[in-house]
Chains A and B, each alone.
Chain A
């Protein structure tokens, strides 16, 4: 258990370092705009605090004219900027510390152009509004792929070398070489231009609080969902088959066969169970991968998720939104990896002993 704990600690430290590196790169590249965001937020804070002070206690902070008030505000802003190190160059430790602290505590500021359905332009609100869509599309398609590949892969493992097996392995090669976003464009041409059965843009037409929203959302989700499943299932089936057919060659399976346990039971009960750890890792990695690649697919389908938000943020150079999204993407990605690593080591003790 002690070894496991150390391993976990090491992984967490690595992930934290990576998160910091990602943030540093982002802050370094977008530092000038980042300063502007900080200054803006300080300005609004100062003005708000003064006006609330005036309204609470009208006798104390009375300014003779607007000039004097402006002077006071400027002075306050300057003081606060200095305390955050905004007047120093980007490499000053104080400033970097402040910036990173701000991002880590999710103080991400306001987007310049995008707004949520309720009209809020806070980066946090925007991301929280879009995240469920991304998760809905990619998890549902991944789960479908997993279910297909578990059954189909196990079935193929018992039929190695047959035509179906060769076909799937060829299809796996092809689907790894085909860009998903290009395939999405082809699917749009086919299903919404020629057949005219599914919409090309996937943003639901009914507003989120309208009636029939769920049905409309599912209707618009159909095409991206089908696309992701078609492009993703063959490699997945191929790997499941590969893992299970390796297990089928092991001695204990042969023993089970000699004991007269039916083929189906061996395949779906014993072989699948033993393939558990490897399969978990594989599917988990796949899930993490699709979330990263979602930017292009969401953009092609105009799916209202985080990837599409990121694409638009890049093209409008909406720096607060870019920084916020990079942080979120990195966080999701790293958390998935951490969970996977933990699962993998928990299931497969050999890794631990080799590492330490």
Chain B
């Protein structure tokens, strides 16, 4: 996956579909986190809690982001609840 990080947003190239997408800063964070390897939703959430105190807000935003990434085929969810980046 190729990433252009523009700070508040970014662009991502999906090597599977050869499609290019504009993505939010949160998605950029998720991508960063997943570079180290597959993670569960909870693990990713844990990493993101450093960004804000409002856990519920972050959790919601994360779920939205994961949903969007799934629809763009940027991530694959394995049955054991571990998300895997491309």
Asked if A pairs with B, the answer is no
